[in-house]
Amino acid sequence: MTTTIRLAGLELPRIGLGTNRLTSENVDFIRDAVAAGLRHIDTAHLYTGGESERAIGAAGVPDDVLVATKGGYGGAGQGRPEIVRAQIEQSLKSLRVDAIGLYYLHQVDPETPLEEGLGRSRSTSTGARSGTSASPTSASPSSSGRARWCRSRRCRTATTSRSAKTTA
């Protein structure tokens, strides 16, 4: 069995950190985990009311750590472009980054086709930020039923900066 996986164009250890219950009290824990070799953190804009993303942002994780976050949770209508755009903007602010390494829809919106929600969100979701925009890796969901976004350079190579363009 291999000890690494390829995710969003990066070779990562098979074990990552799920942050569903992190709070601002866990900033040192995140830093210690990264110092011990952690290279993948999974979060979502809604975890602990956004505090999980804010704690990760406060920890200041380095570029070689893939931070994956999610939005679009909460039922019908949550996959609409304007909702996803607002959640991406909030995640960028909370994580204190210019680009998100990997973005998932937490669940597929039964009222909004992926092509519409992701396609429209990609063109303007981070357009106000210099050099960034979001786009789906493809217009169809992954095998898990989730769509993903990632930085184009990260999708192809592990050497990027946080200011890299967020495209597929």
- As a whole-number percent, the residues of the chain with pLDDT over 90 amount to 39
d(CA 165, CA 113): 25
Whether 161 maps to a domain, the answer reads no
Which residues does the annotation mark as catalytic?
47
**Cβ pair 83, 72 in contact under 8 A:** yes
**Domain assignment present for 39:** yes
The answer to the question of residue 112 being in a domain is yes
- CATH number for the domain including 69? 3.20.20.100
- Can you tell me the distance from the alpha carbon of 47 to that of 51, in angstroms, rounded to the nearest whole number? 7
User: If you average pLDDT over every residue of the chain, what do you get?
Assistant: 74
Residue 146 — pLDDT band, cuts 50, 70, 90? very low
Predicted local confidence at residue 2, as pLDDT: 73
Q: Does some domain include residue 162?
A: no
Give 89-100 pLDDT, tens digit per residue: 999 999 999 999
CB 62 within 8 A of CB 37: no
Is 166 within the bounds of a domain?
A: no
> Domain limits at 142?
4-156
Closest by CA to 96, choosing from 60, 129, 134, 132, is 60
| pLDDT value for 116 | 74
Total count of domains within the chain:
1
Separation in Å, CA 111 to CA 61, 78, 123 = 36, 9, 20
Query: How are strands ordered across the β-sheet holding 40-42?
Result: 17-18, 40-42, 66-71, 102-105, 148-150
> Considering the domain boundaries, does residue 19 fall inside one?
yes
Structural domain contains residue 89? yes
